[in-house]
A = this chain, B = another copy of it.
Amino acid sequence: MKRKVTLKQIAKELDVSISTVSKSLRNSPEISEDTRQKVQAFAKLYNYRPNNIALSLKNKKTKTIGIIIPEIVHHFFATVISGIEQVANECGYNVIVCLSDESFDKEVINMEMLATGSTDGFIMSLSKETQQKKDFHHIQEVINQGMPVVLFDRITNDVLCDKVIIDDRRAAYEAVEFLIKKGFKKIALVTTVDYVSVGKLRTDGYTNALHDHDLPLNDDLVVKIEDIENCALKIEAMLQQQRPEAIFAVNELFAVTCIKQATKMGIKVPEELSIIGFTDGIISQYSSPSITTVSQNGIKMGRKAAKMLIERLEMEEEDERYRTEVIETHLVERESTLSL
């Protein structure tokens, strides 16, 4: 087993100083052609690579981005990571991933852990608990220490930093409007509890669309899901009692569950019930029928977030003007919707 070789070892072996070795490898003009070649040959032979940790310590830069997300077993977040990783890779950065598991405490702990030197900045999406508690001191603290943070998707307005979002309200509005234009009047909503920021916004979009098209807002048509467990039951109850013509669901899981429940109850999708989901993930694509949905390009969001973060990391003087980028969405029409 041959351990990693260091400058010191090379220096000793060639009987020169460490400085000479370092300079030779970085092609400094201070070093004679002769020794430079000699050192480089030796380094190549022993496959020398400068130690990242030492470089990080010296440069006070780790070239690593910390990602903190609620969970990774979630197609949307996985695509975002993928996007971040692409840009990071192009720019010579690594990504270190921490999962909050929707827990405030884990989010805080992970952040503090990474903030003590491990990363140069953060890209994160808030956990449900954090959104509920509205406690963002850990993020503010990190920012105060001079580390840039980019929030995406599940964000908050209570902390000043760069953000990448989609226009949830508008996207939802357009989805519901799409249903209205197809001729549906009795449109149900399956959404999350209000403290989930994106859920709330999408709910708003639904409400606004109904209102702008002079349709009544009927609370009985609105299902708010707290935990996935009883999701199916609540949807079934609503379907039973209300028999809507169409449903707008704020995520894939809700949408596919609607389809499953409806099918089970003998309601044909899309013939008797049209459904639109949110987030164009695997479920929407492979469900039967496949689901018309609002496509929310995670790769793009990830790429954008990474670009913003790295740009800020590589700025010489800091800029207090923070941006909020809105990634465009569009409706992907599939099999789960039909005109009346």
Contacts and interface: CB of A to CB of B under 8 A. Distances in A.
Interface of A: 1-4, 49-54, 56-57, 62, 64, 71-75, 78-79, 81-82, 85, 89, 94-99, 106, 112-118, 144-146, 253, 256-257, 259-260, 263, 282-283, 286-288
B71 A4 contact: no
A173 B97 CA distance: 37
Nearest to A290: B260
B256 A145 contact: no
A135 B318 CA distance: 46
A180 to B, nearest CB: 27
Contacts of A112: 49
Contacts of A53: 53, 56-57, 62, 117-118
Contacts of A256: 286
Nearest to A260: B288
Contacts of A145: 1-4
Contacts of A71: 82
A271 to B, nearest CB: 15
Nearest to A144: B1
The 6 lowest CB-CB distance pairs between A and B, nearest first, are A52-B117, A51-B117, A49-B116, A53-B117, A288-B288, A96-B96
Contact of A73 (B54, B75, B283, B287): B75
Contacts of A57: 53-54, 57
Contact of A85 (B3, B4, B97, B253): B97
A52 B97 contact: no
A53 B58 CA distance: 10
A145 B95 CA distance: 23
B288 A259 contact: yes
A4 B60 CA distance: 12
A96 B97 contact: yes
A146 B5 CA distance: 12
A81 B113 CA distance: 19
A95 B94 contact: no
Contacts of A81: 72, 97
A208 B1 CA distance: 41
B116 A4 contact: yes
A283 B145 CA distance: 43
A146 B2 CA distance: 8
Contacts of A1: 144-146
Given A50-B116, A52-B118, 14 more contacts: A1-B145, A2-B145, A3-B145, A4-B145, A51-B117, A53-B62, A57-B57, A73-B75, A89-B98, A94-B98, A256-B286, A257-B286, A263-B288, A283-B283
A71 B78 CA distance: 9
Nearest to A288: B288
Nearest to A113: B94
Nearest to A71: B82
